[in-house]
Structure 1
Amino acid sequence: MILSSASPASVALSVAAATAYAVPAAAAARLSEGAARAALLVAWVLHGAALAWGLVGDSPRFGFAPAISVTAWLVLTVYAVERQVFPQLQARWVLAALGAAAVLLAAVFPGTPLHVNTSAWLPLHWALGIASYGLFAAAVVHAWLMQRTEHTMRMATAEPQAGLPLLTLERLTFRFAGAGFVLLTATLVVGVFFSERVYGRAFRWDHKSVFSVLAWVAFALLLLGRLRFGWRGRKAVRVIYIGSLLLLLAYVGSRFVLEVVLRRPA
């Protein structure tokens, strides 16, 4: 049973975080602003503790589900910072539901044990990759909010559901996509040119490499199209979704197949 491989402390922290996330997710309309913010903060702290325990606890593990969980936690971190600049941003219940699902998924599928003799380059490679995941996930969330706001405007609703003007959401979406592209480029450079130091073997083309490069091409086209041809709206959102899906398939998809379908370590 996969769940039995997760430590009791990690499971307890994950369940507590998911419960705290459920409060603003299920009762967003009935909570005051202060109560919702406090519940989300408690959930965010518990989520971070669960991630830290899974990575540096008694039996450190990592895999596709912890990668998703870290990405969700990073998106919530970005949201918390953004709320200080844009208090009118409204995405709390969606992100709380995402956080609850991600932290529970990581408790059920904690991943494979980490080797103590891994290269010092590997944490750098992982940090760059997961950070790019988080930034692209933030771009996807903002692209979705942008779509909702555009739809609201077309339907002549009183006010945008996201709480931010369309142009502001569009600008934020491309900023996150651009920052994610820089980190993804750095991740690929480390993985391709320093593969022997990172993994102890020469670089090879596998499913993860192919999907990562395809995602890089998609985001490069997005940024080039924005710069040269002024891409925006639905066309830009579609490219963001496609690039993010390819990036999700690169690491999360390949590890899911190894851990769940084939049931063997990566």
Structure 2
Amino acid sequence: MILASPPFWMHPAAAVAALAYGLAAVTGARMGEVNARRLLGLAWAAHALALLGLLAGPARFGFAPAMSVTAWLVVTAYVVERQIFPQLKARWAMGGLGAVAVAMAWLFPGTLLHEQASAWLPLHWALGLSAYGMFGAAVIHAWMMTRTERNIRLGQEADSGLPLLTLEKLTFRFVTAGFMLLTATLVAGALFGETLYGQGRGQWRWDHKTTFALLSWLTFAVLLIGRSQWGWRGRRAVRVLYIGASLLLLSYAGSRFVLEILLGRAG
């Protein structure tokens, strides 16, 4: 059987996105603020076009497209933040993240979606991937927060461009938003799982994806409670965030990676 090919513009868009992201990461500091911002904007738009190509025609999805969508959402959050905090400095990190994510989705476009799946499944995925994006942005901010704290201890100027307390507030805002989206995703999966994925699938299955998702939800719940009740901050909060993000990464992306790459199955 011959599968329909992706839209003709998908691969050129991915190539432009990867190149623009890479240039923004490597040469952004030397080309001037305006040109670097335009280059990142071009990468962001081309990235969105490449992602759209995955869903046009015979829709495909998998671990690499999920990571690509996550990276695009993180870059989107950065672009919005730059309008509020022009001094924020993370363009090279955004460029590197975007280039790697686009290349992965180009090499591993995923598998064809099941025809019996519900039309509501994309909405369910949108909730889950939005949670990925919010937690991804939280991890980036936590990483910048750790670097800023280290620079302060060494008596150096913070290279993130934002005060430590501002980075901390932004980190937990992203964590809170991600936790709400993850909660909605899990509730939708529990209540409407059979409708979303089609017949032959139970409403609740204790597979690796569900187990890791629940463990990540519990970890983030502990983090938010610890922040609210016991004032968790600094390294302790960052460590718990990293643990929760790692568990969440293993839930969908990790399980799909094992199925698609290690086992060579569509899942």
What is the TM-score when the length of structure 2 is the normalising length?
0.95
**How far apart in 2 are the matches of 1:7 and 1:85?**
36
Contact 1:64 1:252 in 2 (8 A): yes
Q: Could you list the runs of 4 or more consecutive aligned residues of structure 1 that deviate by over 3 angstroms after TM superposition?
A: 5-9
Three-state SS of the structure 1 residue aligned to 2:161 is coil
CA distance in 1, matches of 2:209, 2:43: 32
Cα distance, 1:12 vs structure 2:
2.1
Please tell me whether the aligned partners of residues 18 and 99 of structure 1 are also in contact (alpha carbons under 8 angstroms): yes
Query: Identity, % of aligned pairs?
Result: 58
The residue number in structure 2 matching 1:17 is 17
1:230 aligns with 2:231: yes
- Match in the other structure for 1:88: 87
Amino acid corresponding to residue 241 of structure 1 in structure 2: Y
Alignment deviations for residues 197-246 of structure 1 (CA, whole Å, 9 cap, x no partner): 11232111000000000000000000000000000000000011000000
Q: Please, what TM-score do these two structures have when normalized by structure 1?
A: 0.95
The answer as to whether partners of 1:143 and 1:173 remain within 8 angstroms in 2 is: yes
User: SS of 1:194's equivalent?
Assistant: helix
Distance 2:84 2:265 in 1: 45
Shift of 1:6: 6.2
Q: Does 2:177 correspond to 1:176?
A: no
Q: Compute the displacement of 1:8 (Å).
A: 5.4
2:46 is the alignment partner of 1:46: yes
Select between 114-123 and 190-199 the one with higher mean Cα deviation: 114-123
What is the CA deviation profile of residues 26-52 of structure 1, one whole-angstrom value per residue up to 9, with x for unaligned ones?
Answer: 112311000100100000000000000
Q: CA deviation at 1:118?
A: 2.0
Superposition RMSD in Å: 1.4
- For residues 170-198 of structure 1, give each alpha carbon's deviation from its aligned partner in whole angstroms, at most 9, with x where no partner exists: 00000000010000000000111211111
Q: Structure 1: any 5+ residue segments left out of the alignment?
A: none
Provide the rounded CA distance (Å) in 2 between the counterparts of 1:249 and 1:115. Answer: 22
- Residue 137 of structure 1 aligns to which amino acid in structure 2? G
Contact 1:10 1:107 in 2 (8 A): no
Which residue of structure 1 lines up, in the alignment, with residue 252 of structure 2? 251
Please show how residues 21-36 of structure 1 align to structure 2 within 5 Å: 21-36=21-36
**Separation of aligned partners in 2, 1:8 and 1:206:** 37
Any gaps of 5 or more consecutive residues in structure 2? Answer: none
Displacement after TM superposition at 1:120 (Å): 2.3
Give the match for residue 106 of structure 2.
107
> Is the contact between residue 17 and residue 43 of structure 2 (CA under 8 Å) also seen in structure 1?
yes
Q: Distance in 1 between matches of 2:233 and 2:217?
A: 19
